[in-house]
Amino acid sequence: MLVYADIPPDLLPPDETDGTDDIPRMSRTDNLWSQLVLSGVTATVAFLQHPDASIGVVDVFFDPKDLTAAHRTQFENVLRQTLPEIQRDAAVEMPDVFGAGSPDLHFGTIASVGKPPDGVPPNELQAGTNLAHHLCSQAAQVIARGSVGRIRVRDHTEVIRSMIEKFTMEPDATSNPPSNPSAS
């Protein structure tokens, strides 16, 4: 699954800092990174979910990313609590999609995977994140080709823009700004 978003430069000013009630300070690029990863994981889980192949435990591995402690906590919270809650609610509302008795979605390992030292062969996780890196480095060609075979391409530009624009809107003098723009 290749999930992408075309973000215009005006939403990426240098050194821009965003914040929410639960993540007081995060760089705009870190905010975008977590929004895209969460969006990609959600799209992948939704794509794989069907009555004959329910998903139980999902592990998430990614290239190292320095997030603040609060940001990392909330990033994991969305995976460990919010997405499973959404899946449980959806399973009740749409049993024909999820199948009878489908297991609850659970996120096991959520971890960054660093590159191996020079001269050391990559382990299984390093090889997997390297494969994902190479897929992303060819994103323009993959996006142009679209979903083919086992590769699925999803344009989440509007979803990500709508999430990030919450941080860029000027508060209206006649109304109260949202007190907790979502970082997820």
User: Per-10-residue mean pLDDT for the chain, 184 residues long?
Assistant: 91 88 92 94 86 80 92 95 88 74 84 95 95 92 94 94 84 46 43
Domain that holds residue 144: 2-168
**Longest alpha-carbon distance in the chain:** 62
Q: Is residue 173 part of a domain?
A: no
Q: Which residues are bridge partners to 153 per DSSP? A: 2
Q: What's the number of domains the chain is made of?
A: 1
What is each CA distance from 85 to 91, 105, 162, in whole angstroms?
Answer: 10, 8, 22
Q: Is residue 178 part of a domain?
A: no
What is each CA distance from 39 to 23, 158, 163, in whole angstroms?
Answer: 18, 11, 11
Q: Is residue 115 part of a domain?
A: yes
Q: Is residue 174 part of a domain?
A: no
Q: Is residue 175 part of a domain?
A: no
Q: Is residue 43 part of a domain?
A: yes
Q: Is residue 181 part of a domain?
A: no
What is each CA distance from 23 to 30, 70, 140, in whole angstroms?
Answer: 11, 5, 32
Q: Is residue 118 part of a domain?
A: yes
pTM: 0.82
